[in-house]
Amino acid sequence: MSKSFSLESIVRPNILSLTPYRCARDDYGSGILLDANENSFGSILQEDESLLVKDLHRYPDPNQVLIKERLVSFRGLQSIDYLFLGVGSDEIIDLVIRIFCVPGKDKILITPPTYGMYSVCANINDVQVIKVNLDVDDGKFQLKPDKISEALSENPSPKIVFLCSPGNPTSTCLSHNTIKAVLDDPNLKGVVVIDEAYIDFTEETEGASVAKWVEKYPNLIVMQTLSKSFGLAGIRLGICIADPKIIRLMNNTKAPYNINSLTSHTALNALSLQNITKMRETVRQIRAEREKLISSITSITGIGKLLGANNANFILVQILDEACEKPSNERAHWIYKELAENQGIVVRFRGKEFGCEGCLRITVGTPQENEILLEKLKHLLGGTTVKST
């Protein structure tokens, strides 16, 4: 880490001086609660036995301590002081940009191909985006630390560097050495955000994650989520792991009760030891199906290379032209539309992303879903003929 890093020097002055909204519930959470102008007679749904959560007439815990305690144990962190919870990772991305970047002045740096919300949130906040492409040769999808260093040197220092590992749409973990090179770069004056949404799908999850690095790097922010490996995309719970000073700024800036009671109840249940074990078993099944899908899909005529390292719960596959000579955006987009409009299968066209010409991003489905996908692809790409192996 650069010795010149100073958190106070890169945070927006109005955020540093912000007096956060506080409620009595920040200090006292039990007793006769007459502090928040809630409906003391209860929710109109309180007699509904189908509800898993009671007391919906009360605001949720603004600090979500119980969830954080389970996350500390699950991820091997020092304390809950290193944790912030958001409404999905998207709220965390937006908050980080609002905390560090002055609209119309500051910049972020991204490494395409990458997750689109970094740029979307930057644009919403009137923050400029600098792009330093990944090394995409032969589907490598790795950082170019020297090029990032050049960009940091040549531009008024970007406040945030967003990195995605495993990447989306690349399905590839970034090399730890290159991540360290960025964190230690003397030209870096801001923070580095590592998006680990798919980290549990890697073969060596504990070794792949850099979450514990926050204890060494006060300029590092790591994002995780319950959406992917836990299968809880519908509850919208994002996890931010960072130095306690950064966590305090995020708590000061967030909405008072950002995590709702239904999400809180579900997340706490998901993070029990029993359900963490269940998550890991499900992840093993997804990995196994991923390998089967890779083996089968690459044998279909008209399918090119699978790009990336396949470290997530999806694959990035090239669709070739009709002569099977090179990747074709036109044919890939036709396959994408035909699958969705006439075959009942929705995948993602990624051909316009840097280094992803002719590519479809395909989530690993259930065994039955994968079989249907393979049959439809064989049909659309010219029949059931497959390449000889």
Q: What is the pLDDT of residue 157?
A: 75
Spatial distance between the Cα atoms of 281 and 274, rounded to a whole number of angstroms: 11
pLDDT single digits (tens) 214-240: 999 999 999 999 999 999 999 999 999
Q: Is residue 70 part of a domain?
A: yes
Is the N-terminal amide bond of 367 cis, ω within 30° of 0? Answer: no
Both tokens of 321, joined, read 């032209």
Q: Say how far residue 215 (Cα) sits from the centre of its chain.
A: 21
Fill in the DSSP letter of residue 194.
E
CATH number at residue 369: 3.90.1150.10
Residue type, 264: S
SS3 250: helix
Q: Is residue 17 part of a domain?
A: yes
Average pLDDT in the chain: 91
Q: Do 231 and 327 sit in the same domain of this protein?
A: no
Contact 318, 329 (CB under 8 A): no
Question: Judging by beta carbons within 10 Å of its beta carbon (0-12, 13-18, 19+), is residue 63 exposed, middle or buried?
Answer: middle
Supply φ then ψ for residue 127, to 5 degrees: -120, 130
Fill in the DSSP letter of residue 103.
T
Question: Judging by beta carbons within 10 Å of its beta carbon (0-12, 13-18, 19+), is residue 147 exposed, middle or buried?
Answer: middle
Q: Is residue 38 part of a domain?
A: no
Q: Do 64 and 155 sit in the same domain of this protein?
A: yes
Q: Is residue 47 part of a domain?
A: no
Mean pLDDT on 351-378: 96
Spatial distance between the Cα atoms of 178 and 240, rounded to a whole number of angstroms: 22
Fill in the DSSP letter of residue 124.
H
Residue type, 32: I
Q: What is the pLDDT of residue 22?
A: 74
Q: Do 245 and 171 sit in the same domain of this protein?
A: yes
Domain of residue 265, residue span: 7-23+59-271
Q: Do 234 and 296 sit in the same domain of this protein?
A: no
Out of 162-176, 198-212, 365-379, which region has the weakest mean confidence (pLDDT)? 198-212
Residue predicted with more confidence, 59 or 39: 59
Q: What is the pLDDT of residue 50?
A: 62
Q: Do 78 and 121 sit in the same domain of this protein?
A: yes
pTM of the model: 0.91
Spatial distance between the Cα atoms of 313 and 335, rounded to a whole number of angstroms: 21
What's the total number of domains in the chain? 2
Residue type, 253: T
Last residue of a domain, one of 210, 239, 271: 271
Q: Hey, which bits of the chain come out as E strands?
A: 83-87, 107-110, 128-131, 160-164, 191-195, 220-225, 237-242, 303-307, 314-319, 348-349, 359-363
Name the β-bridge partners of 300. Answer: 386
Q: Does residue 167 carry a pLDDT above 80?
A: yes
Last residue of a domain, one of 239, 271, 303: 271
Q: Is residue 69 part of a domain?
A: yes
- Residue by residue, DSSP assigns 317-366 as EEEB-TTSSSB-HHHHHHHHHHHHHHSS---EE-TTSTT-TTEEEEE---
Q: What pLDDT band is residue 387 in, cutting at 50, 70 and 90?
A: very low
What's the Cα-to-Cα distance from 341 to each of 71, 336, 345, 346, rounded to whole Å?
A: 41, 9, 8, 9
Spatial distance between the Cα atoms of 143 and 162, rounded to a whole number of angstroms: 12
Q: Does residue 389 carry a pLDDT above 50?
A: no
Last residue of a domain, one of 236, 271, 306: 271
Q: Do 202 and 297 sit in the same domain of this protein?
A: no
Residue type, 56: L
Q: Is residue 33 part of a domain?
A: no
Q: Is residue 28 part of a domain?
A: no
| Nearest one of 354, 376, 370 to 169, comparing CA atoms | 354
Q: Do 257 and 342 sit in the same domain of this protein?
A: no
The pairing of strands 191-195 and 220-225 is parallel
SS3 114: coil
Q: Do 260 and 300 sit in the same domain of this protein?
A: no
Mean pLDDT on 123-151: 96
pLDDT single digits (tens) 181-218: 999 999 999 999 999 999 999 977 567 999 999 999 99
Q: Does residue 169 carry a pLDDT above 70?
A: yes
Q: Is residue 351 part of a domain?
A: yes
pLDDT single digits (tens) 254-284: 998 999 999 999 999 999 999 999 999 999 9
Spatial distance between the Cα atoms of 359 and 351, rounded to a whole number of angstroms: 5
| Nearest one of 251, 193, 189 to 8, comparing CA atoms | 189
